[in-house]
Amino acid sequence: MFKTVEYKNGKVRLIDQTRLPLEEVYVECDNYQDVAKAIKTMQVRGAPAIGVTAAMGVALGAKNISTKNFDKFYSEFLNICDHLASTRPTAVNLFWAIERMKSAAEKNRNGSVESIKDILKKEALKIYEDDIAINRTMGMNGQELIEDGDTILTHCNAGALATAGEYGTALGVIKVAHEKGKKIKIYADETRPFLQGARLTAWELVKEGIPVRLITDNMAGYFMGKGEIDKIIVGADRIAANGDTANKIGTYSLSILAKEHGIPFYIAAPLSTIDIKITDGSKIPIEERNPQEVTHLSGKRIAPEGVEVANPAFDVTPNKNITAIITEKGIIKPPFADGIKGLFK
Ligand code: MRU
């Protein structure tokens, strides 16, 4: 079993997701700047995985601060947190994990700097372990929605690679249903432009022995029209208090296709992906990425020089297009504002 991310021998070790599926290689970061770079360049990606990695980056950065004076330590520590928080704007798990690390340091400000460093390492490991356990629980909850014989469409990669490891969110539901002996088949969207579906989801499912058929994004409507898709399950990068959900670009179009064809559309996400401070999806910041992801394929130009390019990495699916949100605390159905409030009680 591969490891998405680990804190090992005072280093953060990551499977390099930009090299998958052709090469299974790991990168080791021994300073927080390299961790931030790994998040920015998408060597590690996926909302929960970004959060876990950032927490480890904070612990690593704190470990390397040389002063024993708390005020000096804390000011450097906050710079590290800011640096890691500037890597990617949409997935709220990043900010959630960094806030948790800040609060662990803050609560223990009366201890020695050495003891705070130790607490920060423990907190990062707890965030990591919790994420794995949460995904398993979410998978157990979500598999109740899956029937024997279902064909499920998914988008992007919401698997072990997008989380601390093992199950994943949307793929966690699929993996648990498969473990329970349900005969399911997956359609994986390739997910232009970064191809998380073709490179990562297909790789994970083939490895797990779960039947998967890879399609290009523009084939989804065709297969829905033919009645081949029973359910759609995707992950999320940020869910607003009313249930509007930001996820990989293309999710919104899928939700409209699902509505047109009467196909249930599910989101699987942990509570750490819900941003209760944001009232609705219009306030979710959408990352604009390098145009080269669109103009090039495997480093080779496919579009003319000088063409204007747009590359929003996420879109927002309005709550009215979502059938249910699967979380570790249960499945919530519309009206989502009430269900979400209930989850945080
Ligand atoms: O740009 P990415 O690859 O970080 O985007 C990832 C997604 O959109 C996933 O669907 C989302 O983070 C859910 S991951 C469990």
Put the strands of the sheet holding 265-268 in their side by side order: 212-215, 185-189, 151-154, 231-234, 265-268, 324-327, 330-332
Distance CA 99, CA 294 (A): 33
Q: Is the peptide bond before 21 cis (omega within 30 degrees of 0)?
A: yes
Q: What is the CATH number of domain 5-136?
A: 1.20.120.420
**Ligand 1 binding pocket mutation candidate from 233, 237, 238 (most atoms within 8 A of CB):** 237
What's the whole-number average pLDDT of the chain? 97
Mind listing the pLDDT tens digit for each residue in 308-341?
Answer: 999 999 999 999 999 999 999 999 999 999 999 9
Instruction: Report the nearest-CA residue for atom 15 of ligand 1.
Output: 158
CATH class name, domain 142-343: alpha beta
Active site residues: 237
With cut-offs at 50, 70 and 90, classify the pLDDT of residue 25. Answer: very high
Q: Give the single-character DSSP code of 312.
A: B
Distance CA 63, CA 61 (A): 5
% of the chain at pLDDT higher than 70: 100
Block residue for tokens 């947190």: 81
- Ligand 1 centroid to 237 CA: how many Å? 6
Of 345, 15, 344, nearest to 207 by C-alpha is: 15
Distance CA 171, CA 139 (A): 8
Domain coordinates of the chain in residue numbers?
Answer: 5-136, 142-343
| Rounded-to-10 torsion of CA 249, 217, 318, 47 | -40
| Ligand 1, pocket residues at CB < 6 Å | 45-48, 91, 156, 158, 162-163, 168-169, 196, 234-237, 247-248, 313
% of the chain at pLDDT higher than 90: 99
Three-state SS for 15?
A: strand
pLDDT value of residue 1: 84
Both tokens of residue 312?
Answer: 């929003």
Mind listing the pLDDT tens digit for each residue in 108-159?
Answer: 999 999 999 999 999 999 999 999 999 999 999 999 999 999 999 999 999 9
pLDDT value of residue 338: 98
Average pLDDT over residues 241-268: 98
Ligand 1 atom closest to Cα of residue 155 = 10
